[in-house]
């Protein structure tokens, strides 16, 4: 894998008539997309008894790569990181690394409300074989921006891995403000952002002043962010529709912007059902994976499983998308 430790620049775009995109499962890591373009925020499979299902995680990870994911993000929001132990997070990285090999980037979520604890998780993820770290702003305490900046610098300096800043103020209660992003971009190992801030203006301001690789963390914004210089996506819906979302990027890179827009629009029904219907993405992703006979298992409390009606609706939306976009 290309070492993702150098600052990322704008993702290169293929001109119309360019060579076909690599086959699904072929890592596509470029200077502007340090972990590849198409990344899945993978669920953490559990057994029916609620234990970590490492065999299921390996099978799911291998399938996601075969379906077109360049890289995998573990122990993020969709991976139910608040309810997995430190030991489980480490074991998950090791198991997935063994399943996908050395050439598929793995980004490990290590964010907590505690800088010291986050640094400990960062070092553990590095030892387990992760290629990068996903780090959220400290939650609950809602520190001011100078403390947020210091937190990210301290965690980054705690190990040798490159860092993806995870801007998701709807969950943390604290925004990583654009001005803070611009200052943090000066650090040579802060290389990317998972953008869930719903602030396209602020995102473009950071893109205009830094070489941070921006990944869409909101599935409905994949094409919009890519079109203004984003690196790709880190998607929840990719757990079940990786090929379709990768097709958006492939069409855009080939110069078929109308085709990219058409595919993006066709994903919206499933995205809405999974992300905007009142249930967390971990719940809906696991419900649909289960209906498809793929590793998932239950969610951990306080989350509760989707009901039958919701699962039926998810499956119907998925089947319509699969029929429209192969």
| Predicted pLDDT at 326 | 75
Q: Where are the domains of the chain?
A: 38-242
Query: Counting runs of H as helices and runs of E as strands, what totals does the chain give?
Result: 12, 8
72 φ/ψ angles, rounded to the nearest 5 degrees: -130, 140
Give the whole-angstrom CA distance, residue 43 versus residue 294: 11
| Predicted pLDDT at 14 | 34
| Predicted pLDDT at 16 | 29
Q: Give the DSSP letter string of 232-275.
A: EEEESTHHHHHHHHHHHHHHHHTT-HHHHHHHHHHHHHHHHHHH
pLDDT tens over the chain, length 326 residues:
433 433 333 333 333 233 333 444 343 445 589 999 999 999 999 999 999 999 999 999 999 999 999 999 999 999 999 999 999 999 999 999 999 999 999 999 999 999 999 999 999 999 999 999 999 999 999 999 999 999 999 999 999 999 999 999 999 999 999 999 999 999 999 999 999 999 999 999 999 999 999 999 999 999 999 999 999 999 999 999 999 999 999 999 999 999 999 999 999 999 999 998 899 999 999 999 999 999 999 999 999 999 999 999 999 999 999 999 87
Give the whole-angstrom CA distance, residue 307 versus residue 150: 43
| Predicted pLDDT at 32 | 85
194 labelled catalytic: yes
31 φ/ψ angles, rounded to the nearest 5 degrees: -55, -30
**Cα-trace Rg, the chain:** 18
Mapped onto helix, strand or coil, the DSSP state of residue 129 is: coil
What CATH number does the domain located at 38-242 have? 3.20.20.70
Candidates 129, 12, 31; CA nearest to 72 is: 129
If you ran DSSP here, which 8-state letter would residue 150 be given?
Answer: H
Give the whole-angstrom CA distance, residue 275 versus residue 286: 12
| Predicted pLDDT at 271 | 98
Asked whether the CA dihedral 156, 214, 282, 98 is positive or negative, the reply is: negative
Measuring CA to CA, how many Å separate 290 from each of 31, 178, 266, 267? 36, 39, 23, 20
Listed in sequence order, the residues at least 6 apart from 127 whose beta carbon sits closer than 8 Å to its beta carbon are 90
Give the whole-angstrom CA distance, residue 75 versus residue 94: 13
Give the whole-angstrom CA distance, residue 259 versus residue 257: 5
Which residue in the list 89, 139, 166, 286 is annotated as catalytic?
A: 166
- Whether a cis peptide bond, with omega within 30° of 0, leads into 302 is yes
Residues 107 and 133: beta-carbon distance below 8 Å:
yes
Which residue in the list 89, 139, 140, 194 is annotated as catalytic?
A: 194
pTM value is 0.90
Listed in sequence order, the residues at least 6 apart from 21 whose beta carbon sits closer than 8 Å to its beta carbon are 28, 246, 250, 253, 254
Give the other-Cβ count within 10 Å of 39's Cβ. 31
Give the whole-angstrom CA distance, residue 264 versus residue 75: 26
Give the whole-angstrom CA distance, residue 23 versus residue 31: 20
């Amino acid at each position: 894998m290309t070492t993702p430790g150098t600052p990322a620049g704008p993702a290169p775009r293929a001109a119309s008539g360019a060579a076909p995109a690599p086959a699904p499962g072929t890592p596509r890591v470029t200077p502007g997309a340090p972990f590849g373009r198409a990344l899945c925020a993978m669920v953490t499979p559990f057994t029916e008894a609620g234990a970590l299902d490492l065999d299921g995680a390996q099978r799911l990870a291998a399938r996601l790569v075969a379906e077109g994911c360049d890289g995998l993000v573990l122990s993020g929001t969709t991976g139910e990181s608040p309810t997995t132990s430190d030991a489980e997070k480490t074991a998950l990285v090791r198991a997935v690394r063994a399943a996908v090999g050395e050439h598929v980037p793995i980004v490990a979520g290590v964010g907590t409300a505690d800088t010291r604890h986050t640094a400990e998780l960062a070092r553990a993820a590095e030892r387990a074989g992760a290629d990068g770290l996903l780090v959220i702003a400290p939650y609950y305490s809602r520190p001011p921006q100078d403390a947020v900046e210091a937190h990210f610098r301290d965690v980054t300096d705690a190990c040798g891995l490159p860092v993806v800043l995870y801007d998701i103020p709807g969950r943390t209660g604290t925004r990583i403000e654009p001005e803070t992003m611009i200052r943090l971009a000066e650090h040579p190992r802060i290389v990317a952002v998972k953008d869930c801030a719903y602030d396209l203006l602020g995102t473009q301001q950071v893109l205009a002043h830094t070489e941070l690789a921006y990944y869409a963390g909101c599935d409905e914004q994949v094409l919009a962010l890519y079109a203004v210089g984003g690196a790709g996506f880190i998607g929840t819906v990719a757990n079940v529709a990786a090929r379709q979302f990768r097709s958006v990027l492939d069409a855009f890179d080939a110069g078929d912007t109308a085709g990219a827009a058409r595919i993006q629009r066709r994903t919206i029904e499933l995205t809405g059902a999974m992300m905007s219907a009142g249930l967390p993405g971990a719940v809906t992703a696991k419900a649909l994976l289960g209906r498809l006979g793929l590793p998932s298992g239950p969610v951990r409390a306080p989350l509760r499983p989707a009901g039958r009606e919701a699962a039926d609706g998810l499956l119907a939306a998925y089947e319509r998308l699969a029929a429209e976009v192969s």
